[in-house]
Amino acid sequence: MRRHTVVIAVALALTLVASGGTAGAASRAAPREAAGSSGASAGLSAAMTCDQLAKADFSTVPDAPTAVMSAKLVAATPDVAEHCEVSAYVTPQVQFTLNLPTRTWNGRYYQTGCGGYCGSIAADQISACVDAVKGGFAAAATNDGHVSTSRFDGLWAFKDRDAVVDYGYRAVHVVSVASKAIVQTFYGRSPEKSYFQGCSDGGREALMEAQRYPDDFNGIIAGAPAFLFSYLVAAHNLGDQRANRDAAGRQIIGPDQVRILERAVLARCDRLGDGIVSDPRNCSFDPGVVQCRADGQTDCLTPEQVAAARKMYQGPVNRRGVGLYPGAGDGPGVKFPGSEGAWLAWQVAAPDAALSRNGFTADQYLKYFAFDRPPGPGYDTGDFDWNRDLQKISKSAQILNSADPNLDQFHAKGGKLILYHGWGDTAIPPTGTLWYYNQLQQRYGGLEKVQRWARLFMLPGVYHCNGGPGPDQFDFLGQVVAWVEQGAAPNRVVGSHLTNGAVDRTRPVFPYPTRAEYSGHGDVNNEASFVGVTPSTPPDDDFRWIIDPRS
């Protein structure tokens, strides 16, 4: 559950959307241009100084008593306009930062999500806020109500259900309320429009906002959302750990075996020779094709390694063979061909480590905040029984999961939702997002009606939130602003891939299920060489898994 690196290029994106085009994520523009391109207020100035704001009393903000700890003026640079950097907290300990342009506010509020188990306002959140300030937004980020040693440390939650509630849904909401109160005081007026963007756990938070607090934001961007939190961590992540360990606890598949699988998949399914499996659903691959056939053979997998790989592709099931995550069991699997490079980050443990990253997230959840009575540091996750214990974590699931397809209020108030997910994601399987989007279609009358206000973009060759051979830099913020404020729905969004800071590949994505296909002419690394193609038969994303009554 990692950070998102969706670059904000608001001004150019909005200008091009208004004229029928799109902008790649690598572009930059001045805040005043960003404000003027969509009709929002341009170049608004503060009504007070940072010093005055630091002395203001926000302890009576309804449902979000707030204290400003500091407010300091940050001088303008060639890249970022002058702004007031506010450090504050909402009781009891929901810490947040709020950056307020002093002369270039565009009238909008932006809030970014937090990754993993949060516990700090990390560099990626700060960077997202700085990028938003460049576009003229007032921008905020929070630690979700607790402090921790890392984004995957769960000790903070031990026997503290209020902290779990803050992390689950309260913190993002109260920071929105508090930040808007501070914005009102600083500028003398409230934001005209508000936007939320998050990936991974931030994507979970994004959907939580649309479900629980539909009035907080006009436009929401949910990337690779961890919205099936309890099933993701206690089933999928734990399943990865179990699948890749033998009876003695030794890791079965290591980096060498991952690279063998990756080469075999690309040899079979990389039609353009660019290292990307463009349509992984059409890639039929079984790891048995690389099983060793003779003694002493190298560059192959043992039968034990093949079996482990199959389990990881397919995902966890209970004793009846029912999938414990969308896509597992009788579905397409939870990991698609072309995702193997991401296994090195999430499924394969570091040398001599007992747990992979996915295994560690499961360990921390089950020890410290899954159960009503958390067992604590002495708990052995090997004792967790999917057939018996999933029901025992249902109360934490009610706090943490944001899987409700009821977005009636958000939809009715004109809210717009952009979902995105990398096909190569192995930290949070893309099948969950596909399943959720299918649930929206079932509730709201089919794809055409849902696409009027909620659109999904699937990113070929992209791992968890970012990384991988595919373009992973997209200006979805510019797209959702144009959609909310101009009614310009995102039909074609161009992404960029960077190597050493330079763009070396661009490619468009289209609203799912339309996919980008090579036109047969031009450079395969140039977005102009691709067209959108909608399959004649809609994909079946109505996965049967453990929560489905049909299972």
pLDDT one-digit tens code per residue, 327-347:
999 999 999 999 999 999 999
- Among 19-23, 167-171, 214-218, 544-548, name the one with the lowest average pLDDT: 19-23
pLDDT at 40: 67
User: Residue 30 — pLDDT band, cuts 50, 70, 90?
Assistant: very low
CA gap 172, 195 in Å, rounded: 12
pLDDT at 352: 83
Query: For 502-516, what is the mean pLDDT?
Result: 98
Positive/negative CA dihedral, 321, 390, 346, 421: positive
pLDDT at 196: 98
User: Residue 1 — pLDDT band, cuts 50, 70, 90?
Assistant: very low
pLDDT at 43: 87
Helix 171-187 to helix 201-212 angle (10° resolution) is 80
Digit-coded pLDDT (tens) for 107-129:
999 999 999 999 999 999 999 99
Partners of residue 378 on adjacent β-strands: none
Digit-coded pLDDT (tens) for 167-226:
999 999 999 999 999 999 999 999 999 999 999 999 999 999 999 999 999 999 999 999
Whole-number percent of the chain with pLDDT over 70: 92
Look at residue 426 and tell me whether its pLDDT is greater than 50. yes
Tell me, letter by letter, the H, E, C secondary structure of 55-124.
CCCECCCCCCCEEEEEEEEECCCCCCCCEEEEEEEECCCEEEEEEEECCCECCEEEEECCCCCCCCCCHH
CA gap 482, 20 in Å, rounded: 11
pLDDT at 551: 76
pLDDT at 14: 32
Partners of residue 416 on adjacent β-strands: 219
**Closest Cα partner for 68 from 46, 87, 84, 85?**
87
Digit-coded pLDDT (tens) for 231-251:
999 999 999 999 999 999 999
pLDDT at 156: 98
pLDDT at 549: 85
pLDDT at 21: 33
pLDDT at 39: 52
Mean pLDDT over all residues of the chain?
92
Q: State both tokens at 349.
A: 């443990």
Digit-coded pLDDT (tens) for 268-297:
999 999 999 999 999 999 999 999 998 888
pLDDT at 296: 84
Query: For 32-36, what is the mean pLDDT?
Result: 34
Look at residue 378 and tell me whether its pLDDT is greater than 70. yes
Establish how many alpha carbons lie within 13 A of residue 479's alpha carbon, considering only the half-sphere containing its beta carbon. Answer: 33
Digit-coded pLDDT (tens) for 64-116:
999 999 999 999 999 999 999 999 999 999 999 999 999 999 999 999 999 99
Positive/negative CA dihedral, 206, 456, 498, 268: positive
CA gap 46, 49 in Å, rounded: 7
For 145: left if phi > 0, alpha if psi spans -120 to 50, otherwise beta; the answer is: left
Look at residue 367 and tell me whether its pLDDT is greater than 90. yes
Look at residue 35 and tell me whether its pLDDT is greater than 70. no
Look at residue 267 and tell me whether its pLDDT is greater than 90. yes
Digit-coded pLDDT (tens) for 406-420:
999 999 999 999 999
CA gap 267, 340 in Å, rounded: 13
